[in-house]
């Protein structure tokens, strides 16, 4: 991540990097993309200018791919810094409501805290919540995240008792059924999952609980969405119908608007008719 930060220190660099990422996903046949970034300031580039460079790249996109933006709050920062970041995110959300759709809690899960009041305020300001949670064992924090009822949870590794969670958390999850963003390669490389075959997504598959497949960071983890689906298929003995269903169901879990969701569903239904027997 440091390398990526070191080379995106001008507005043009941020714009170019964003355009390149969109192009990469498009080349992988992705038709809907939610980018995430943490607003940051460096010498000669304010947080507002940083966000606007990303927005400009999204607005200039001419490819057949829908792109939205989630802005992140880093849990490592002091509360006052996070509060200021939220104010900026709300301001930018009001300025670009069709692009900025949500907010995320990111950063080292072993550092800092989860401030529920901060994200409750974000929700009151029409920001959808996608919160990294359960990356490491922290039953109380995950319980607090459940209580907030975010639209999605990132990773969710330590929820089930067989994967570092607890019976208490799993029972709460079975009631909440909050969609989980699954990032297979990221989890294995970071060591939060022992292997692909021993990944916690197995419990979501077995119980037919909602989840979507994501890359986390395709550059850092040297992956693509296609590779992530391939890993899922090979390690959990899924067929093309299973993979299609996962992709189709993820549309409802997305932060697209209703018109966009219907359009995306139409694309996948047409594709299924043509290619899946």
Cβ atoms of 178 and 152 closer than 8 Å: yes
Q: Which residue has the tokens 């070191």?
A: 6
Cβ atoms of residues 82 and 118 within 8 Å: yes
Pairing of strands 211-213, 66-74: unpaired
Q: Which two tokens stand for residue 55?
A: 């927005």
Active-site residues, by number, are: 135
- Secondary structure class of 51 (helix, strand, coil): helix
Residue 216 and residue 72: Cα distance in Å, rounded? 13
User: Counting beta carbons within 10 angstroms of the beta carbon of residue 49, is it exposed (0 to 12), middle (13 to 18) or buried (19 or more)?
Assistant: middle
- Alpha carbon distance 253, 242 (integer Å): 17
């Amino acid at each position: 991540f440091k390398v990526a930060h070191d080379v995106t220190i001008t507005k043009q660099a941020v714009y170019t990097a964003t355009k390149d990422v969109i192009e990469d996903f498009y080349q992988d046949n992705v038709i809907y993309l939610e980018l995430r970034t943490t607003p940051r300031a460096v010498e000669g580039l304010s947080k507002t200018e940083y966000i606007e460079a990303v927005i400009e790249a999204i607005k200039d996109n001419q490819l057949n791919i829908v792109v939205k933006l989630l802005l992140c709050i880093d849990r490592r920062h002091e509360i006052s810094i996070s509060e200021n970041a939220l104010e900026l995110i709300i301001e930018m959300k009001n300025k670009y409501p069709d692009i900025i759709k949500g907010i995320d809690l990111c950063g080292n899960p072993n550092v800092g805290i989860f401030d529920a009041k901060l994200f409750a305020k974000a929700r009151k300001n029409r920001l959808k919540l996608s919160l990294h949670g359960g990356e490491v064992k922290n039953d109380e924090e995950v319980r607090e995240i459940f209580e907030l009822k975010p639209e999605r949870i990132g990773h969710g590794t330590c929820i089930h008792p067989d994967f570092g969670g607890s019976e208490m958390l799993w029972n709460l999850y079975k009631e909440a059924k909050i969609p989980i963003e699954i990032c297979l390669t990221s989890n294995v490389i970071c060591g939060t999952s022992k292997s692909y075959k021993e990944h916690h997504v197995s419990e979501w598959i077995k119980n037919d609980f909602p989840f979507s497949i994501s890359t986390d960071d395709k550059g850092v983890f040297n992956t693509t969405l296609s590779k992530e689906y391939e890993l899922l298929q090979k390690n959990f003995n899924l067929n093309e119908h299973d993979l299609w269903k996962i992709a189709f169901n993820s549309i409802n879990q997305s932060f697209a608007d209703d018109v966009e969701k219907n359009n995306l569903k139409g694309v996948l239904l047409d594709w299924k008719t043509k290619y899946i027997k």
